[in-house]
Structure formats: C-alpha cells, structure tokens
A and B are shown apart, each in its own frame.
Chain A
C-alpha cells in the first residue's frame, strides 16, 4: 500500500525502466547472447521457409501391368477393413449385418466393419496426411461422396485403380445412370455404393399444401422455420437449379445471382440455420418445418418404429418441380491398402441383385442395382420399399435430376467456395 501514499504529482517509475535508462544497455556478454539469438532467428526463418506441406503430383495413369502388380493373382488375403458411414448397411435385430455374414460365408473373407465416416471432409482431413506420407490408412475400402470429396481423392492420386475383370456383377447389373460418371470417367477408381436425392422435406402436420419448389424455402411465411444444408453442394446446387440453370453449366455470375436469393432469406431471418446431418433432428422436434433434405433420411423418419424408422409419419419428401439433385456415394480403395483383392471382391459381391436387395431394404437410399427391386418385391415382400420412388426412382424422376457440381480444377472449386462458403458460414 506504500505507493498509494505517494504524492500524486510524483510519477511512479518502474524500477526496471529506471535501471534501463541509467545503466549500460548491452554488456559484452549480452552481446554474444544477442548474436546467438540473431543466428537462431535466421535459422528459424530458413526453417520456416523450408517446412512446406507436400503435394501429391496428381493421379497415376492406369495400365495393365500396374493392375496386375496391385491385384497379383487375384487371390484374396481373407481380411477386409471396411470404413463406412453409420447406419449405411443392413442390420438384423442383434446388430449384425446379414449381407456381411453372407459375404464371409461365400468368400471366406473376414470383414472388420467400422463406421468412422460422419462427414466426407473431416474424414479425408484425417486420411490425406497419412497418404501424403506414403502410408497405409488401415482401410481397404471407403465410401466417399462425389461433388468434391471423391474427385479430390482421384485428382490427388490417392485411390487404387480398379481392375474391371474382377467386377463382372457390376458390369452386368449396375444402373447405367450410375456408371461412367463425370467425376470418374470409365469408373477407373470408383463404383457407386448408394445414391440419393437432395430435395425438400417438410412436416405435413404444419404445412398443409405440399411445397413444390426450392422457392418455398425462401417464403417469408415460414420465417425462422426453414432449414438448409451447410455444405458446398447440397445448398448451392438446388439454389442454382431453382434459377433455371443446371449447376454444372452455370457461370460464376449465375452462381452469385442464386446466392443472393439465399443470402436475402438468411438475413431476413427466414432461414433458421444451415445444418449438417442434424437437420433431421431439428425437423423431427419441430424446430424447423421445411428443409432441404436427403431422400433416405426422410423415408427413415416417416416409417414406423416397428418398421425400423423414427416414427414420424407426418414427414414427407418432395422432388422440387425444377428437379432434385442426384448424388452418389462411391466405394473406393485408398492407395497403399493392404487387401485390395478382398476390397474389389466385396465391390463385385454387392452388385448381385440379391445382396443389393437385402441392403436396399434397410438403407432406403437409391440402389445402384435396378434388379434389386424384384428381389425386394418378390422375395422380401416389402412393398413400401419396392414401390418407393426414393429407393427405386422412376425414369421421369431421373430425367429431371441434376448432378452435383463437378469441379474441373481446384481454381474453379476455390471460386465456387468463395461464393458459397460465406453464405452458409455466416
């Protein structure tokens, strides 16, 4: 308390400052020390300049000798490490997957099935540094969505090329709408696991007249009760499509026009939030009544609990009149995978109508095997699934559907994200 009692006109001088003012600043010994620090600083600067993050160089070209080097004599090793999304495979009442059990029975390959993928980008953020170091990710088979994530993996050269001679079922049974996609011409690296639609989900208890277009999501009468997606495909593509342009042919100016509609609705408080997969909870508990939605989620929400759904029959899904967005989750083999033959054997396995049917009856997204419809209808006798346009879409639905935006270059993706990321990251 001593300083308090000093007369106020006498400034308090920090003793350290006083010492600094009165004493020699740098002694000889200090001089050596500072020189050392300076050298260390220079060393640090060169260290900073040296530590970059390695690039990958680009995709490997595929030729026959590469393939035989990868797949050898085509004998499986007996082990498959499969990384998938949660709730994305058939499961019986005891929590086991009948289709995986059948796979092990048919081929003798044991499957270590894990579900570490909750979202594409965070999962890739985990495995890309491993692949950049030239190491094995520990997964032989992963499921990644198009519209950026899978394209990125292909461009980085981080996927193992597929040898089509091990995929006869795929060649025979795959829906032609899912083969030879723009992001992987000739299916060199991927085959589709499941597809789905981005459309509109709504609560029919609250909204009596069914919405017909993306424009309903911008309607002030649903102020504060509208949900949209917080990613750079599911939110932008429908917004561009609504302005009458295909997202894949739209120009950057047209992106901006479409973004303005969303920004206005956002700043007017019409859009409540931009959601990840949690939109489905918000819809179910009434926080939102109309939202952008993925077809399978709404189908699951609407089914009774006895039937494996969430028990909200009032949840409805509509294709907007301007057309839904059609996306694909793809099976692929990461580079350096330990068991590529087992992985490609599995890819071939799921393209049997019977197996595809078993899975479609549980997953409720769009099966890449149209012949699975007969199996679900005739053998499993599940008409709700077999007749659902969300699982087995009609040709008219597909004709109208637009694909996710395909980025020709990183520069284009950066420009796209520059327009859209500020819209949903606000």
Chain B
C-alpha cells in the first residue's frame, strides 16, 4: 500500500505542478485582465447600451435600439466634430514641429545635461493641467503682460486679441500635449546606434543625408507613438476650448460634457462618445497603414 501512496503523492504534485504551469499565463494576465474588464469593457458596454436608449430623467431611459441617436448626433454636431479633428490635427503637427528639434537637440547635443534638460522640459507638467491653462488665459488676456505691453507701444491694434480665437485653442492644446510627443521621440532618438551614424559619415554622407537616411527613419517609431499619444487626447480635449476659446471654437468634448452634465441627454452624449471613438479608431488604423507598424518593425 505504501507504494501506491508514494506514487499518488508524486502524481498529485506532478499534476499540481502541471496545473501551475498551465495556469501561470492566466494568473499573470489576471490583474490586468480584470482591470480591463471592470474599468473598460463593462463601462463600454454600458455606454453602448445608453447610446441606443430613449427617454428622459423623469420617465427613465430604456433601451429601444434607437439608432437614430447616432444620425441625430451627427447632423446636429458635425461642425464641432470636424472642428475637433481639424484642431487636433493642426495641434499635433505643431507639437511635432516643436518637439522633434527639441528631442533631437537633447538626445544628440544634451551631453551630460540630458537628464536636467528632460527634467526642465517636464517641469511645467508637475502643475495641474487646469492651472497651466488658466495661467495662459491670464498671460494672453487683452490687457495682460504681453498684449497690453505691445498695445501700449502701438505695435498691435487696440482691438487685437488672441484669447477666444481658434489660434488660442490650438496653441493651448499643442502646449499641453508637448511632452507626450517629445518624450517618445527622445527615447527613439536616444536609442539610435551612434556607430551607425558614424558609419554613414565614414561613407561620406552629408549631414543632411545622415539625417534623412539614418536618423529620421530610425526615429519614426517614436514619431508614430508621439502622434498617437497627442492626437487622440487632443481631439477629445474640451478644457482648452472652454478656457481659451470663445464663440465658434467649441470642440466635440465640450458638447459631450454639456450633453451629459447640463442637458442630461445621456443617450446623445453616449452616441457622440461612440462616434468619436470609432472615428479615432478608423483614423488610427489608416494612419498605421500609411506609416505602417510593419515598416516600424522593419526599421527596428
């Protein structure tokens, strides 16, 4: 009998070990997976349901598969949709134009001050988003320290203003999302193998050719990540339009906020959120096709 007990014990431990081995990937996924289900999938399904409901606060909202919520939302708010995408695109391009040279300079010329320079770049972002934007509202006000001074020197017409214009909103977005663009580009540039650059120079490549043929292609993954990290939140942003904007500068985020919190039209707001999400996903897929994740793998 002792014999069979021993085997059984061995069998059990082996089984257990086998179970552990089989379960370990699921256990590892566990926390992240549960987080994703509870905080992403469940709310997403709930929103999908709300976007198809009809009703009001008094009668309650019931799911009636009312797909007209979507068409109504588009016909009423297409102006703000298009504006959000235009503002988001311009802001992303502006951020890219500013970030790339900045990241390049820090990565290649920063030397031993790299960390300090990065820290300086990030320093403003230790202050809350809202406070920073409000500070711009203060700085750019019509009689503020910049415009007021220029006006008193008669360099600007008296009725000139920056606030409450699309320029103010786009600049605000570009400013607020700068690190999301600059950091990934910096990381990509930092990873560029310096010996490759050296090799290009040894082969008599001009400075420009070194940049266009070696450095730029190798930094594309950073640009790709930076554009995604900037564009997606930029299109959905509402704070800059609210604080720095004026008439005819509302973005889709402002409309969604208004529909949820002021008008209590939950279905319209949910439908708008879904349209925004779908539009962004389509845009990103197209973008990934063009700048290609495959191509990126190729470069890396």
Contact = CB atoms under 8 A, between A and B. Distances in A.
8 closest Cβ pairs, A-B complex: A55-B60, A273-B246, A286-B143, A53-B61, A48-B49, A52-B62, A121-B262, A55-B59
A47 B47 CA distance: 12
A285 B144 contact: yes
A125 interface: yes
A285 B164 CA distance: 14
A30 B262 CA distance: 48
Interface of A: 1, 3-4, 44, 47-56, 58, 121-122, 125, 128, 152, 155-156, 223-225, 231-232, 266-267, 269, 271-274, 285-287, 410, 414, 417, 421-422, 425-426
Interface string B56-92: 1111111101000000000010010000000000000
B289 to A, nearest CB: 12
- Residue with the highest number of chain A CB atoms closer than 10 Å, among B56, B143, B159: B56
- Residue with the highest number of chain A CB atoms closer than 10 Å, among B142, B159, B161: B142
Given A224-B159, A286-B141, A52 B255 contact: no
Interface of B: 45-46, 48-50, 52-53, 55-63, 65, 76, 79, 138, 141-144, 159, 161, 163-164, 245-250, 254-255, 258, 260-264, 266, 298
A267 B247 CA distance: 8
Given A224-B161, A287-B141, A53 B246 contact: no
- Residue with the highest number of chain B CB atoms closer than 10 Å, among A48, A52, A53, A273: A53
Contacts of A421: 258, 263
Contacts of A49: 49, 63, 65
Given A48-B49, A224-B161, A272-B246, 17 more contacts: A49-B63, A52-B55, A53-B50, A53-B55, A53-B266, A55-B60, A56-B57, A56-B60, A152-B57, A272-B164, A273-B246, A285-B142, A287-B142, A287-B161, A410-B57, A410-B58, A425-B250
Nearest to B246: A273
B261 A155 contact: no
A417 B263 contact: yes
Given A52-B62, A56-B60, A225 B263 contact: no
Contacts of B56: 55, 410, 414
Contacts of B57: 55-56, 128, 152, 156, 410
Contacts of A53: 50, 53, 55, 60-61, 266
A54 B63 contact: no
Given A223-B159, A426-B250, A55 B55 contact: yes
Contacts of B65: 49
B163 A52 contact: no
- Residue with the highest number of chain A CB atoms closer than 10 Å, among B58, B255, B258, B263: B58
Contacts of B250: 425-426
A287 B164 CA distance: 10
Contacts of B52: 48
- Residue with the highest number of chain A CB atoms closer than 10 Å, among B245, B260, B264, B298: B264
B267 to A, nearest CB: 9
A286 B142 contact: yes
Contacts of B143: 285-287
Given A3-B298, A48-B45, A152-B57, A425 B255 contact: yes
